[in-house]
Chains A and B, each alone.
Chain A
Amino acid sequence: SASSPLTGSASSYPETSFSKKHNKHDGGDRRRKKPRNGPTGALSVYVPFPSPREAAIALRSLSPDREPRKGGISKHLALTGSTLSVRWRADEARILRVSVTSFLDHLALVMETMEMFGPPVAL
């Protein structure tokens, strides 16, 4: 287990990839460096819809706007049948959480809209 420089005694917490990255205490450069092994946060969400057309409507309503944050996060939307899938990759858990929360708020609004004003007209 990791040893804490503050108390000098062994820490009872197991060493994780998070603690290895953030508890270096090397006394040198305190700025967070980009992880060398790639993104440290990933999440996939699968949203079922009543039909492929409705899943496509949701995708086309939610995909045009870019992520407000320029770097450190990527989000990919895709369709499989009646399921909308969303896949995130992020450099940090915090960035991932912000993007996912925002997306879910907008997804909920789109789904409420579809419920209130749907079903889609015949093509």
Chain B
Amino acid sequence: MTVVIGFEGSANKIGIGIIKDGEVLSNPRRTYITPPGQGFMPSDTARHHRAVILTVLKEALEQAGLKPADIDCVAYTKGPGIGAPLVSVAPVARTVAQLWGKPLLGVNHCIGHIEMGRLITQGNNPTVLYVSGRNTQGGLVIAYSERRYRIFGETIDIAVGNCLDRFARVIKISNDPSPGYNIEQMAKKGTQYVELPYTVKGMDVSFSGILSHIEEASHKMLNSGQCAAEDLCFSLQETVFSMLVEITERAMAHCGSQEVLIVGGVGCNMRLQEMMGVMCKERGAKLFATDERFCIDNGAMIAQAGWEMFRAGQVTELEDSWITQRYRTDEVEVTWRD
């Protein structure tokens, strides 16, 4: 029996979760939400996390019905992410690991998503689409091969979630519960399709050009009444999701894969799941996705990746436990899989 506690706070969500041999015992989380039109700034986000982290930690232990002595390992997000919040969460993980006399494990955030996706959906060896707001990592097509999560395609500039979030700021919609969720609801009411640039570059995608285009177009078109904000939300989703489906399909063809797993915050989007589902059906492939408990950043996913790493014999020494804003998924040696 192995029990791992995981700390996640690399963006605006702070979550702490506990996993025991594939069972999620607790997974409390808090989100730092800013007013419409504003993104979350690093130091404000860090301040939010510092204010609530110990409360969330107590909740995690209480909801799991565990004492610190029951924990075998303390996992935390080493990166990638935003520096200030990362650096506000890691010291708490380090402190409790030392207080409780437990080994520490630094986890790659993206791998946390993948391992939780694998646990929940029990996919055999899916092509993974990681979609989030996380810059440099928020539009990644990954396939496992020989001890690495290899990156087959990625965004060459901003994350797809970042593109959606920044457009949400332009049209000043609420960030509660998340800008992406509100874009999705508005998109459902869209009635016309507005042509936007479509930028797939081989195996990769680019979103910053689409963002600049739609920012400019929205000012012109909304002011002149040519279209409604709902139409722009609809068009943006259709465009960026089609691009992601295309590069996922390309990776599947390359790997001969018959399964797709969508992870990351944008993976909550039902339209993306629907479009990916259509492509999968055409290929006779299976689609796996998780719900908002696990799509959105959470502590249990870090605990799950930590569980795999710990059982494979990995440990992070305190001196090596520094956080890093950049941390590619393919840098990690996946020793827990063949």
B-binding residues in A (CB < 8 A) = 57-58, 60-66, 68, 105-106, 109-110, 112-114, 116-121, 123
Tell me whether A57 and B323 are in contact (CB under 8 A). no
Select one of A57, A66, A119 contacting B95, CB under 8 A.
Answer: A57
Tell me whether A109 and B91 are in contact (CB under 8 A). yes
Q: Which 5 A-B pairs have the closest CB atoms?
A: A61-B94, A64-B322, A61-B91, A57-B98, A113-B95
Tell me whether B98 and A64 are in contact (CB under 8 A). no
Q: Write 15 A-B pairs (CB below 8 A) sorted by A numbering.
A: A60-B98, A64-B320, A64-B322, A65-B323, A66-B322, A68-B83, A68-B84, A109-B53, A109-B54, A109-B91, A110-B91, A112-B54, A121-B69, A121-B101, A123-B101
Chain B, range 88-130, C-beta contacts under 8 Å to A: 88, 90-92, 94-96, 98-101
**Which residues of the partner chain B approach A57 to less than 8 Å between Cβ atoms?**
95, 98-99
- Say if the beta carbon of B255 comes within 8 Å of chain A: no
> In chain A, what residue has the closest Cβ to B90?
A65
Tell me whether A61 and B101 are in contact (CB under 8 A). no
Tell me whether A109 and B96 are in contact (CB under 8 A). no
- Report the interface size class on chain B: 20 to 34
- Say if the beta carbon of B68 comes within 8 Å of chain A: yes
- Say if the beta carbon of B318 comes within 8 Å of chain A: yes
> In chain B, what residue has the closest Cβ to A118?
B99
**Which residues of the partner chain B approach A112 to less than 8 Å between Cβ atoms?**
54
**A-B contacts at CB below 8 angstroms, number:** 75
A73 to B84, CA, bound (A): 17
**Which residues of the partner chain B approach A64 to less than 8 Å between Cβ atoms?**
90, 94, 318-322
- Say if the beta carbon of B131 comes within 8 Å of chain A: no
Tell me whether B96 and A113 are in contact (CB under 8 A). yes
A60 to B58, CA, bound (A): 22
Tell me whether B99 and A120 are in contact (CB under 8 A). yes
Judged by DSSP, the binding face of B is: helix
- Say if the beta carbon of B183 comes within 8 Å of chain A: no
> In chain B, what residue has the closest Cβ to A59?
B318
A109 to B47, CA, bound (A): 11
**Which residues of the partner chain A approach B69 to less than 8 Å between Cβ atoms?**
121
A64 to B91, CA, bound (A): 9
B227-259 CB mask vs A (1 if < 8 Å, else 0) is 000000000000000000000000000000000
**Which residues of the partner chain A approach B47 to less than 8 Å between Cβ atoms?**
105
A66 to B322, CA, bound (A): 7
- Say if the beta carbon of B158 comes within 8 Å of chain A: no
Q: Given the interface contacts A113-B54, A121-B100, does A61 sit within 8 Å of B323 by beta carbon?
A: no
Tell me whether A60 and B94 are in contact (CB under 8 A). yes
Select one of B95, B100, B322 contacting A65, CB under 8 A.
Answer: B322
A86 to B87, CA, bound (A): 18
Tell me whether A120 and B50 are in contact (CB under 8 A). no
> In chain B, what residue has the closest Cβ to A57?
B98
**Which residues of the partner chain B approach A121 to less than 8 Å between Cβ atoms?**
69, 99-101
**Which residues of the partner chain A approach B91 to less than 8 Å between Cβ atoms?**
61-62, 65, 106, 109-110, 113
Q: Given the interface contacts A62-B91, A109-B91, does A117 sit within 8 Å of B68 by beta carbon?
A: yes
Chain B, range 45-104, C-beta contacts under 8 Å to A: 47, 50, 53-54, 57-58, 68-69, 83-84, 87-88, 90-92, 94-96, 98-101
A105 to B99, CA, bound (A): 20
**Which residues of the partner chain A approach B53 to less than 8 Å between Cβ atoms?**
109
B141 to chain A, nearest CB (A): 31
Tell me whether A106 and B88 are in contact (CB under 8 A). yes
**Which residues of the partner chain B approach A60 to less than 8 Å between Cβ atoms?**
94, 98, 318-319
